[in-house]
Amino acid sequence: MMTDDSVQEVAAQITRWFSDLFDDLVQLADESAAAMATARGRLSSRDLKAIEPAAGRFLDKHPEHEAAGIILRPGIIGAQGEIEWWNREADGRLRTLPFTLTPNTAGFYDFETLEWFSNVITTGRPTLTGPYVDYAGMDKYIITTTVPLRDGTAAGGPAGAGDIIGAAGCDIEMRALEPALMPLLRRIDADAALVSQHDRIVLGNSGRFLVGNRVTSPPAQAHIVELPVHELGLRLIAAPAENR
Amino acid sequence: MGQLSGVQSQVFRPLPDILRSDAIVERLTTAITLGLLRHGEQLPVENQLTAMLGVATATVRDALQTLRERGIIETRRGRSGGTFVVAAPAPEPDVLRARLVNLSMAELRDLADEQTSNGMAAARLAAERAFAADFERLSDIAGLIAQADGATACMRADFRFHIELTVLAQSERLMQNEMRLLSESVEILWSVLDWREDRARAAEEHLAIVDGLRAGDVSAAQTAVRDHIAHNTYRLVQRRLDEMYPAGAAR
């Protein structure tokens, strides 16, 4: 039978997994801001390259993640914004991924309107977006997690205190998230699912809860635990197992 | 698609010859297992295969050699010579298990989404385009699986029904999609299902689709398609989870 203990215990472990991830994203943001800061007081595109070691450290610690980096708001450097997004290739080298930031082109990556960017900019809060098919971005089925990136230049004050100039974040493919979290979910002796703030299933432990589907009304006899990770709105839902 | 990102260019890097050869072996084996290439049928000659598959001659030769060693094809010399299908290989449990386990939850769901889309579209067009006699014939084919004697026979009967349903849609593109989708899924499905238990259910679900079509009720036919695929998907997902992530408790 489903016990409250096992659901609570798994909820605590998933909470820890995401908390650790966001701690490392905050570190990526702080290190990136510090690395870009120059005495000149105004960022230029040359300063972006300085974040490579920070992105590399993050990806080394989170090898299951596809890519990580920073995104700058339009007007901080260029008029269309900047995406400095790194991934580690099979040969171990880091490289930046190209994105099309020219409006009115077929592959235009309109990141300003995407939740992982707009929510961080308008609320200043960490955000988890997805699962979603990242058209014109990674072109994969992923989750994106982001935290605010604050101005670290002399004009902006010490790192972590300045204005929000963009976001630091990372992408994980659903294929790669599954082995990280499924063993935990499978410890619950019930049909269980991790769902996002929009009631979308991130991962389910049975054929009943398929990734991407939404759970808009709670199943019968459901046990629901809110995961206290920032204010992401993540929940763990467990309901007595059913067979089909 | 414009410029490829770094990740994408990795996806499209040339396949090593050994992988292409394996892919040809897998494709031909599946086609023979499903009965698309029949016992006694002659394969195209080597340079035709090379052109059709878009690979090097040596790659085709490697693939044919593997199929020959497995006793699936045979090459005869002389005036009436050529390469012929001589045996339908039984799907190997280890190979099918590996194919299932290698699909993530997201990929399994996506495969089901595409099958559902294609099946529902075929049902709508069939309802608009087919004749009463077509539905009678489809109804007979729908029930065949109930008498199928073994997993391989169930798989062939299942394959046949979904192909014949798509035939009624009068669309080559939907047919090509359906062939590809079934080639990817139907062998794995019947390696997971228990044919003694599930053949009756499959027959019922097939007949529900035909009943909807016969009644001119597109929405009933489409719902039956969706439920049929959802049912199969549930079983595939459960098996994969049990294989990959054995549950801690007695589940």
The reply to whether domains A4-12+178-239 and A20-173 share a CATH topology is yes
Band the pLDDT of B239: cuts 50, 70, 90: very high
Residue B45 has pLDDT above 50, yes or no: yes
Are the Cβ atoms of A175 and B107 closer than 8 angstroms?
A: yes
**B173 pLDDT tier (thresholds 50, 70, 90):** very high
Among partner residues B1, B6, B104, which is closest to A174 by beta-carbon distance?
B104
Mean pLDDT of B106-130: 97
- Say which of B10, B109, B250 has its CB closest to residue A211: B109
Tell me the pLDDT tens digit for each residue of A73-107.
Answer: 999 999 999 999 999 888 889 999 988 898 888 88
Inspect the interface and report whether the beta carbons of A174 and B5 lie closer than 8 Å: no
Residue B31 pLDDT grade (very low, low, confident, very high; cuts 50, 70, 90) = confident
For all residues of chain A together, what is the average pLDDT?
A: 91
Name residue B89's amino acid. Answer: P
Q: Which residues of chain B have a CB within 8 Å of the CB of A244?
A: 231, 234-235
Residue B215, chain A, CB below 8 Å: the answer is no
Give the minimum alpha-carbon distance from B5 to chain A in angstroms, rounded to a whole number: 6
Task: List chain B domain ranges.
Answer: 7-85, 93-244
Q: How far is CA A79 from CA A69, A73, B83, in A?
A: 19, 9, 64
Percent of chain B whose pLDDT exceeds 90: 70
Q: What residues in A contact B227, CB-CB < 8 Å?
A: none
pLDDT of residue A158: 56
pLDDT for B78 beyond 50: yes
Nearest CA to CA, how far is B110 from chain A (Å)?
10
Domains of chain A by residue range = 4-12+178-239, 20-173
- The hierarchical CATH code for the domain B7-85 is 1.10.10.10
Q: Which amino acid is at A41?
A: G
Q: Which residues pair with A224 in a beta bridge?
A: A237
Minimal Cα distance from A135: which residue of B? B1
pLDDT (average), residues B14-35 = 81
* pLDDT on residue A8: 95
pLDDT digits (tens, 9 = 90+) for B57-74: 999 999 999 999 999 999
Closest Cα to residue A190, out of A172, A165, A208? A208
Mean pLDDT over A50-63 rounds to: 95
B5-14, B143-152, B239-248: least confident range: B5-14
pLDDT of residue A138: 84
Please list every residue in chain B whose beta carbon sits closer than 8 Å to the beta carbon of residue A100: 2-3
| The domain over range B93-244 is classified in CATH as 1.10.150.130 | no
Q: Which helix (H) or strand (E) holds B175?
A: helix B172-192
B7-85 and B93-244 have identical folds: no
| pLDDT at B10 > cutoff 60 | no
Q: What is the dihedral of CA B101, B107, B113, B119, to 10 degrees?
A: -50
- Categorize the per-residue pLDDT at A2 as very low, low, confident or very high, splitting at 50, 70 and 90: low
DSSP state of B44: P
CB contacts of B237 in chain A (<8 Å) are 206-207, 210
Count CB-CB contacts under 10 A for residue B14: 7
- Kindly calculate the radius of gyration of chain A based on its CA atoms and give it in whole angstroms: 19
Query: What digits encode the pLDDT tens for the residues A104-145?
Result: 888 889 899 999 999 999 999 999 999 999 988 888 999 999
Cβ contact, residue pair B249, A138, below 8 Å: no
Residues B185 and B91: their CA atoms lie apart, in Å, by 13
> In chain B, pLDDT over 70 holds for what percent of residues?
91
B246 touches chain A (CB under 8 A): yes
- For chain B, how many residues are written? 251
Q: Report the residue of chain A nearest B2, measured CA to CA.
A: A107
What homologous superfamily is domain A4-12+178-239 in, according to CATH?
A: PAS domain (3.30.450.20)
A20-173: CATH, from 3.20.20.80, 2.60.40.10, 3.30.450.20, 3.40.5.10 = 3.30.450.20
Distance from CA of B236 to the nearest CA of A (A): 8
CA distance B81 to chain A (A): 47
Closest alpha carbon within chain A to B6:
A97
Band of the pLDDT at A191, cuts 50, 70, 90? very high
CA A169 to chain CA centroid, nearest Å: 6
For position B250, what pLDDT does the model report? Answer: 39
Q: Does the distance separating the beta carbons of A90 and B5 come in below 8 Å?
A: no
CB contact burial B105-139 (16+ within 10 A = b; e otherwise)? bbebbbbbebbbbbbbbbbbbbbeebeeebbebbb
